[in-house]
Structure 1
Amino acid sequence: MIEAVLFDLDGTLLDREKSLIAFVSHQYDRLAPKLSSISKEHYVSRFVDLDKNGYVWKDVVYEQLIKEFQLTACTVKELLDDYMLNFKHCCIPFQHLHAMLEELTQRNIKLAMITNGYGQFQLDNIQALGIEHYFDVILISEWEGVKKPNSDIFNRALAKLQVSAAHSMFVGDHAINDIEAAQNVGMLAVWKRNDASPSYKADYIIDELSEIPMLMQQLVICQK
């Protein structure tokens, strides 16, 4: 029986692609006088390309943008500080996020989140989504000193939940950091389908967050 569901954040609960596009678009608008040498469309599309789904940190992205577009009116630090301060205002959840978490909570399922990234930055984004109160445990790699796919961070979350891996499910979008890593500690792994990181080894595959409660119900029926 599944007693706990653990989640990734970016690409799983947070629609990072839409959020990033919204942020970069707003950043261009705020700093337009300093970026007017390039079009908004070009700035946004190039940022998204360089970002590599979040796996290239933004100082590197901004360094490349400044170099490519020969920007002289702004610095990497200025752009990075703006990102750190304002991204939280552009966080867009995937559909059915709150309804799904509410239903799992009502079923007395323990909830946890494990996300790689900078501590305060990720916590700001979680709070912007309005979901912090649903979770019994939230682990962010910077503050934990270990990140996915290292098994330690998964085992740490399970220990805090006081639930065994065999009675837990992890939901994520990344084939290695989420799916393989969760399976390596003995958890069921649910892949939220995306094109960036295909996973054919997941125990289950979903397209929408609303499928999670239904999946859990199916597991209960199968175990009877």
Structure 2
Amino acid sequence: MIFFDIDGTLLDYDYAEREGILDFFRANRYLSTFSNQQPIDVWKQLSSKYFDKFLTNELSFQEQKRARMMELFNMVEIDLTNDEADEKFEQYFSFYKDNWKAYPDTIDVLNKLSQLGYRLGIISNGEYQQQVEKLRCIGIEDYFDSIITSSEVGAAKPDRTIFKEACRITNSPIANCYYVGDRLETDALASQMAGMNGIWLNRIDKSYHPQQGIVEIKSLQELLKIIT
């Protein structure tokens, strides 16, 4: 069984987030005081801050979205009600979703692995329905037998529980499973510690960084050489 992360692995998350937040800022004139790179940096900080609270069960998925928007507008001295914050997030999400796209190598590699008879799955931090929607929108949902998310399991990467639960659900011996993700510690090392074969997809840094027991690849095309 070969499991994949989604954001930064199959879906170009950085592109979608960057273009989505820039579109959102342009649509909200009250945020015009932010300039140049600032909207992207501020949004990334808020996203990290509140999504981590979701992963540690401090906030629900809806609450972390709402909190991001409330803090963002507080920066320009605007207080949003809960309903207003929810509406603003949905506006942002619409822009973000419009920019979802698969990496150029994603569909080709998934197609080849499927043709070779490999079972494919997803292990992702996040809310189940949203992660399924991403896969559907970029045209790859049907490649996967199972989609395992932290919201369903009650544990998030790098907790080894989510990797072990994915193997239990799919009836797959953990030592025979691979996990491919773009984050060294959260994906590759964590899955390796759980008993899988961790593979670090390092799309950004063109130099290699040897890690004990971890295979590093620069594109999904390299995965085919390792698996097959």
Is 2:84 aligned against 1:64? no
**Distance in 2, Cα, partners of 1:50 & 1:214:** 38
**Distance in 2, Cα, partners of 1:199 & 1:64:** 40
In the other structure, the counterpart of 2:211 is 200
**Structure 1 position 39, deviation (Å):** 4.6
Please tell me the root mean square deviation across aligned C-alpha atoms, in Å. 2.7
In the other structure, the counterpart of 1:181 is 190
User: For 2:220, what is the secondary structure of its paired residue?
Assistant: coil
Query: 1:1-224 maps to which residues of 2 (within 5 A)?
Result: 4-29=1-26, 31-39=27-35, 42-52=38-48, 55=52, 57-71=64-78, 75-193=84-202, 194=204, 200-201=211-212, 203-217=214-228
TM-score under structure 1 normalisation?
Answer: 0.80
User: For 1:191, what is the secondary structure of its paired residue?
Assistant: strand
In the other structure, the counterpart of 1:221 is none
**Distance in 1, Cα, partners of 2:96 & 2:210:** 28
Q: Give 5+ residue unaligned stretches, structure 2.
A: 54-63
Q: Does the 8 Å contact 1:117/1:140 carry over to 2?
A: yes
| Partner deviation per Cα, 1:91-131 (whole Å, 9 max, x = no partner) | 12222100010000011011010001112222211211111
Task: Check 1:199–1:27 CA distance in 2 against 1; reply closer, same or farther (3 A cut).
Answer: farther
Question: How many aligned residue pairs are there?
Answer: 211
**Distance in 1, Cα, partners of 2:33 & 2:189:** 44
**Distance in 2, Cα, partners of 1:153 & 1:146:** 6
Q: Does the 8 Å contact 1:95/1:209 carry over to 2?
A: no
TM-score under structure 2 normalisation?
Answer: 0.79
Task: Check 1:41–1:175 CA distance in 2 against 1; reply closer, same or farther (3 A cut).
Answer: closer
